[in-house]
Amino acid sequence: MIQSLFQRRSPKQPKYAPVELKPSYRVPLGLLAIALPLGYGSWILGIACGLLGLLLLFQAKTIRFCFNPTAFELYRGSTCFRSFPYENWSNWRIFWPSVPILFYFREINSIHFLPIVFDPVALQACLEERCPRQD
């Protein structure tokens, strides 16, 4: 009987395993592809679209998106530069699910929009598991 009591009081295991999202280059490369035809019509729009594509390509290469047991975290190298605890989330949405390009989530005191420069399928699976939507 005493042994069964000790077995029940095992140390707390984390509820979720950490998941690092793989980068996705679809949105940045799509913007770069659109920049060329836009440049023929309006060189200013072409340059703006191309620069945005290059910026997103750089972010997809350098920033890591991680779902940890208690928070969604952004890393540059091995340094976490932003953390979003799940307990502060009130809602989230992926815009245009068939061609995902933008990820929105709302915390208690702020709203965030992120371009999807990471695996959208893994993103949705982790979000549904860790913080179910409240529609």
pLDDT, tens digit, for every residue of 5-18? 444 444 555 577 89
What pLDDT does residue 66 have?
A: 96
| Between 98 and 107, residue with greater pLDDT | 107
Which range of residues forms the domain containing residue 57?
16-130
Residue 124: inside a domain: yes
pLDDT, tens digit, for every residue of 43-81? 999 999 999 999 999 999 999 999 999 999 999 988 999
What pLDDT does residue 38 have?
A: 93
Residue 47: inside a domain: yes
3-state secondary structure of 83: strand
> Domain with 34 in it: what CATH number?
2.30.29.30
**Taken in order 77, 78, 82, 87, is the CA torsion positive or negative?**
positive
Residue 32: inside a domain: yes
Sheet holding 79-85, edge to edge: 19-21, 63-67, 71-76, 79-85
> What residues form DSSP beta bridges with 93?
104
Residue 2: inside a domain: no
Q: How far apart are CA 79 and CA 77, in angstroms?
A: 6
Nearest of 105, 103, 126, 104 to residue 116 by alpha carbon: 103
Count the domains in the chain: 1
pLDDT, tens digit, for every residue of 80-94? 999 999 999 999 999
Residue 104: inside a domain: yes
Model pTM?
0.79
3-state secondary structure of 126: helix
